[in-house]
């Protein structure tokens, strides 16, 4: 990657989260051809729900870090 950047080539960044990846997929012609119409809509709906549930999950790290902040 570093050699490509140094050579002046464009290096596209990979998504850092499922949310970013889902945004990328909305504009992907390859995905739209592979999952036309209702198939993509259902996939996106399912994955958006999955991401929302993941983001709202309280982890052990969250509990360990923030519980002692509560009065």
Domain positions in the chain are 15-69
11 with 5: CB under 8 angstroms?
yes
40 with 31: CB under 8 angstroms?
yes
Helix/strand number for the chain, H first, E second: 5, 0
| pLDDT tens digits for range 32-66 | 899 998 999 999 999 999 999 999 999 999 998 88
Q: What is the mean pLDDT of residues 12-22?
A: 93
Confidence of residue 4 (pLDDT cuts 50, 70, 90): confident
Q: Is the pTM of this model over 0.85?
A: no
Q: What are the C-alpha distances in Å from 56 to residues 29, 45, 53, 59, 64? A: 30, 17, 5, 9, 16
Q: Check pLDDT > 80 for residue 23.
A: yes
Confidence of residue 12 (pLDDT cuts 50, 70, 90): confident
């Amino acid at each position: 990657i570093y050699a490509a950047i140094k050579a002046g080539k464009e290096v596209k960044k990979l998504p850092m989260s499922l949310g970013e990846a889902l945004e990328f997929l909305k504009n992907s012609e390859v995905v739209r051809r592979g999952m036309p119409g209702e198939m993509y809509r259902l996939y996106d709906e399912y994955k958006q729900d999955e991401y929302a549930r993941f983001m709202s999950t309280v982890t052990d790290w969250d509990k360990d870090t923030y519980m002692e902040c509560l009065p």
